[in-house]
Structure 1
Amino acid sequence: MNETAKTLAFAGVALVTLAAASLATWLPDWRGPGAGFDDQGDPFFPSFAEAVEADPLAAQVLEVVSYDEDTAEVRPFQVEFRDGDWTIPSHHDYPADAQDRMARLAAQVADLTKGAIRSDRTSDHEELGVIDPMDEKITTLKGRGTRITLRGTPGGEAMADLILGRPVPDREGLRYVRIPGKNRVYAAEVDLDLTTRFADWIDTDLLNASAPQTRLISYDTRKVNPDERTNDGAFVVRPGDPLVIDRDNANEWIIEGLGPDQEVDSSKVGDLIRAVDSLKIVGVRPLPSARNAILRSLVSKGFYPTQQGDLLSNEGSLTLANDEGIVTTLRFGEITLATGDELTAGVGEDQDASAEAEAEPDDASTDAESSESGQTEGRYLIVSVAFDETYLASDDDDADASGTLPDDVFARAPDDPVRQEAEAKLAADAQRKEEARQRRINESKEKVAELNRQFANWYFVVPGDDFRKIALDRDAFLKAAGTPDASDAAAPPPSFGPGGFNPGGGLPPGLNLPGLGGPQG
């Protein structure tokens, strides 16, 4: 072989070696003993893809199991469609707003395709982060992935089941993926609209307010001191200073008993209504069904049923009434400092409830403690709704549009045709107005029933900051006479949807506990 041929041969070998090195750099590292059956490019779940194409909601159960390496805890999250409703079983079957999100997720899982084969060795599973988080036989605390399972029915066979591992280094959008029970790991392109945040699966707008105008606001500032008891063991009630803010005939806010140099700052009232309207849910807890359990649960969260059938709380209550006659009472209880499932679902809360109630920080220290500990501050809240016809607005559309009656119509004889026609018209108008009012009453009562189905069986946890915007005293709504309001007076008047004033007090639906012992004043 001459020198030119040798040079070309060496150059060819070098090019092949360079190409192989470049390919090895571009592709994820292969660690298997041999390629075996190469299924790259195949869909992960072809049967599931067909089912989703026929019905976007073919998957009606989502189960996600993740693992927290810092705490060595398995964290399950579930969403399912059962008995005609979407619920979150991992959060006490709280109603979910899940239909659109489930359809998107199912379509994305159906589109998953197997990419480059990464490994066929179980010894690589820890490094790639694809150990089944539910596998109790493996003792290692690291390398556990997130298992995602989609089923057609609760308890049914899995339609799609995968373990999502770590991101592939230097390859944006690629994750390691393994099918449970299989050794092979793929580097697959994964773009899933998957979240296990409780707030992402529910309607966080607690009151879901509509447009009716607020008519009355009332603070019941009686509070219960759990450390004080009467001789017969009942809790002591601190009287407080009741505050009622009402609208007069000129649609102005009034507070009785103001001095000559005081006025109501309507902008501050508007701020309060907007704060109530903006209340967000960050967690839920179910009310127990057993009588004794309810008592223990209520007291641990700062709520105290009385022998008179009322329910007091250690942070008082706020009630509002709107012009649909719909009334809501917001009762605020104890503080809770938590994060993750402890905040959203109360995981591990039962054993700590009493200690937590006794350890409530004052308002001055709450923000610092929450920030330093990394925990979120929440406040327990019970919501109840009632109907009171007193606050139902008259319907301006009921006014007579056909003109006025003749001045002498009722001076005519009873059998005069003009008088008889006028009387018949008045009777028909009165009946129409009464029927229209009864329709509004029925509509409001239906809303109340629906809202009580939503609220009756739950404690809600709302952000501490939201609570402080609402827990105001009398001075917060006052200004010096003749001074402008604190904010733009041209702003539209605030409204509050399903809000209300609960003049009769009483226990919320779901707390049917007549004759209970409790706080006594």
Structure 2
Amino acid sequence: MSEMAKTLAFVAAAALALMAAFVVAPRENTFDVESLVGQRLNEFDIDAPKRLKIVKFNPETASTNEFEVAEENGLWTIPSKQGYPADAAKQMAEAATCLIDREVLRVAASSASQHADLGVVDPTSSNLDSQDEGVGIRVTMSDNNNDNLTDMIVGKPVKDAEGQYYVRRTNQDVVYVVTLDPEKLSTNFQDWIEDDLLKINSFDIRKVAIKDYSAEMMITLAGIQMDWDRRAEMTLTYDADTSEWQAESLQEFDKDGKKYIDFTIADDEELNQEALKDLADGLDDLLLVDVERKPAGLSADLKAGDDFMKDNAAATSLMARGFAPVAIGPNKQSDILSSEGEVTASLQDGVEYVLRFGNLQMDTETGETKPVETEEGAAPSGDNIHRYLFVMARFNENMIEKPELEELPALPEDSKEDADTESGEDASAAEEPASDESASDDSEAEESDEASTDTETPPTDEATPEDESNAEDSEDADENADAESDETDSEETSKDEELADIIEKRKSIEEENQRRLDEYQAKIKEGKERVAELNERFGDWYYVISNDVYQKIHLGLDKLVKKKEAEGETGEAASAADEGVPGLPNLPLGGAPAPQ
């Protein structure tokens, strides 16, 4: 190639490079990230999101915690918790409001090299380890067609700018500053559910039965073996009139005799009313920490079916949580035994809750990456120690007060006879007029004959004294007969009125008694329906609760019975007025304060 040709080639190459630069440079200059300021992110309707997924990074384990909630067929569930029902409508609206129409206040960065500093590194990145910092929270919302409405990463808060955070779209490097409240993007399981498990009022509790025992369970070649430490069985009833608990039955287990024997409260002992109040309050405030789906094969009343009893994997899974399928009773019926006893709470509406307590579950994952913090050197408490729980409901008709029916006033004896022979009397009444008429006809015939005879006898010119006397007697007799007839009519009228009053009262009482019976039957029906509804909700799950709550609910005899205070001794919370009359310290004003 000649020098001229080489020169032309270089010129052509330079021209092409210049043209390329000319084409690219304007496009580079036209993309001005600052022009994004003032624009809106995430423009969609508040009710459009039907699925929310939040992913957080746990640096301690170098793993992610995912929380997901979704609506399917009109029902909100938590797929990340095996489809547990969610109370999510309000929470979802708050989460959507947190992300919708976020105004870009400024652009903080346009390069991926700054992502770690601003805390917007994708937590789902495959190359993260426990040393990585600046990992953000990835939030995805999609509609009912699973089309993404937003997919963004929320980073660190902006320094000295309250409520402002760094965010970016997952598929872009540009980092924006927007105003939002990340607290609305909760991954706390309790924020998305109805965490009041039993939904009861402590004032409705009328009886509590406690089975205090511990059982260690193990699977051997011979089957399930248990080391059963039985301690006591206690039944307490609540008297609403005195606002105090009373002992219905107290029994402790005699290990030598291997049977339960009656426990008698000593003269210097009494029931611990404060502990029993805490028990009732604990049932009222029984909050969920976590849930897990129970193994297949258990019925709603926690009975273990034959197939379940033969499923070693299911039995092992159950026993790991402190529950074991066992054959109990004379008929060897399969049932579930818990490792830490059980409590039955009976309500005045007949609904009974049976709570069976299993093993501890340490550090339950709730979706939060930050572990529960305790003071340095402090022992773990019930706040970060959790326990498995099985719950079922059943109906006890004896808990519903039977109606008191008012006795009906007695009917008069003659009215009873009348009532018994009413049809016969009607027939007699129909015959009586005919008899009277016949008798009347005979009488009239006789009188007619007498009259004709009299007409044949020649009349006398004047009446004799005897005739005058007979006439006067006849008039007096007629007057007496009329008086007796009036008196009889008055007595009959009075009896009729009295009978009518009694019949009216009986009718009113019968109606009231029927109303009470109907109300009683309605309570039974409502209670049974409530039990069915509860078991439908409880049936697929066993729950996880705080160990602190368990310790309030599951009492032993040592906590249930306490020593009486010595005479003149006052509790720490007693006021000065309760200590006694000044100058007479041994004369209390009102005794021990009533339990609250």
TM-score where L is the length of structure 1? 0.72
- Aligned with 2:559 (options 476, 480, 500): 476
The answer to whether the aligner puts 1:73 opposite 2:75 as a matched pair is no
Q: Which residue of 1 aligns with 2:32?
A: 36
CA 1:240–1:411: 2 relative to 1, 3 Å = farther
The one-letter code matched in structure 2 to 1:279 is L
Q: Which residue of 2 aligns with 1:258?
A: 264
Structure 1 residue 317: Cα displacement: 0.5
The answer to whether the aligner puts 1:148 opposite 2:139 as a matched pair is yes
CA contact (8 A) 1:320 1:327 kept: yes
The one-letter code matched in structure 2 to 1:413 is S
Q: Which residue of 1 aligns with 2:326?
A: 306
- Aligned with 2:285 (options 260, 278, 283): 278
Q: Which residue of 2 aligns with 1:58?
A: 48
CA 1:260–1:296: 2 relative to 1, 3 Å = closer
CA contact (8 A) 2:122 2:153 kept: yes
- Aligned with 1:442 (options 525, 536, 548): 525
114-123 or 458-467, which deviates more: 114-123
SS in 1 for 2:391: strand
CA contact (8 A) 1:212 1:324 kept: no
85-94 or 237-246, which deviates more: 237-246
SS in 1 for 2:107: strand
Map residues 114-513 of structure 1 onto 2, 5 A cutoff: 114-136=104-126, 141-153=132-144, 156-192=146-182, 193-210=184-201, 213-226=204-217, 234-247=225-238, 253-256=246-249, 257-259=263-265, 261=267, 262-289=269-296, 291=308, 292=311, 293-307=313-327, 308-341=333-366, 370=380, 376-394=384-402, 409=411, 411=413, 413-414=415-416, 415=419, 417=500, 420-480=503-563, 489-490=593-594
Structure 1 residue 245: Cα displacement: 1.4
CA contact (8 A) 1:286 1:457 kept: yes
Q: Which residue of 2 aligns with 1:111?
A: 101
Deviations 1:281-328 (A, max 9, x none): 111111122632432222111112222233211111111111111101
Structure 1 residue 151: Cα displacement: 1.6
CA 1:146–1:250: 2 relative to 1, 3 Å = closer
CA 1:278–1:410: 2 relative to 1, 3 Å = farther
The one-letter code matched in structure 2 to 1:317 is E
> Larger Cα Rg: Structure 1 or Structure 2?
2
SS in 2 for 1:41: coil
TM-score where L is the length of structure 2? 0.64
Structure 1 residue 386: Cα displacement: 0.4
SS in 2 for 1:340: coil
Structure 1 residue 188: Cα displacement: 2.0
SS in 2 for 1:81: strand
CA contact (8 A) 1:337 1:375 kept: no
Structure 1 residue 212: Cα displacement: 5.4
CA contact (8 A) 1:63 1:76 kept: yes
CA contact (8 A) 2:204 2:347 kept: yes
CA 1:368–1:33: 2 relative to 1, 3 Å = farther
CA contact (8 A) 1:222 1:237 kept: yes
CA contact (8 A) 1:148 1:163 kept: yes
464-473 or 161-170, which deviates more: 161-170
Separation in structure 1 between the aligned mates of residue 541 and residue 563 of structure 2, nearest angstrom: 42
CA 1:296–1:33: 2 relative to 1, 3 Å = farther
Separation in structure 2 between the aligned mates of residue 225 and residue 461 of structure 1, nearest angstrom: 19
What's the Cα RMSD here? 3.4
The one-letter code matched in structure 1 to 2:142 is R
Which ranges in structure 1 are unaligned for 5 or more consecutive residues?
Answer: 1-31, 345-366, 493-521
SS in 2 for 1:148: strand
Structure 1 residue 377: Cα displacement: 0.7
Structure 1 residue 68: Cα displacement: 2.1
The one-letter code matched in structure 1 to 2:194 is D
CA contact (8 A) 2:77 2:85 kept: yes
Separation in structure 2 between the aligned mates of residue 77 and residue 161 of structure 1, nearest angstrom: 15
Separation in structure 1 between the aligned mates of residue 107 and residue 565 of structure 2, nearest angstrom: 77
The one-letter code matched in structure 2 to 1:69 is P
Structure 1 residue 205: Cα displacement: 2.0
CA contact (8 A) 2:361 2:385 kept: yes
The one-letter code matched in structure 1 to 2:341 is G
Q: Which residue of 2 aligns with 1:517?
A: none
CA 1:170–1:35: 2 relative to 1, 3 Å = farther
Which ranges in structure 2 are unaligned for 5 or more consecutive residues?
Answer: 1-27, 250-262, 298-307, 328-332, 370-376, 420-498, 574-591
Structure 1 residue 179: Cα displacement: 1.0
217-226 or 233-242, which deviates more: 233-242
CA 1:254–1:482: 2 relative to 1, 3 Å = farther
175-184 or 125-134, which deviates more: 125-134
Structure holding more helix per residue = 2
Structure 1 residue 199: Cα displacement: 1.9
Q: Which residue of 2 aligns with 1:503?
A: none
90-99 or 234-243, which deviates more: 234-243
CA contact (8 A) 1:145 1:165 kept: yes
Separation in structure 2 between the aligned mates of residue 138 and residue 490 of structure 1, nearest angstrom: 60
Q: Which residue of 1 aligns with 2:459?
A: none
The one-letter code matched in structure 1 to 2:293 is P
**How many residues align structurally?**
423
SS in 1 for 2:102: coil
Structure 1 residue 453: Cα displacement: 2.1
Q: Which residue of 1 aligns with 2:23?
A: none
Deviations 1:93-132 (A, max 9, x none): 2222221121122123113111212222223223322232
Deviations 1:435-457 (A, max 9, x none): 11111111112221222222221
The one-letter code matched in structure 2 to 1:268 is A
CA 1:284–1:483: 2 relative to 1, 3 Å = farther
The one-letter code matched in structure 1 to 2:520 is R
Structure 1 residue 273: Cα displacement: 1.0
Separation in structure 2 between the aligned mates of residue 481 and residue 72 of structure 1, nearest angstrom: 56
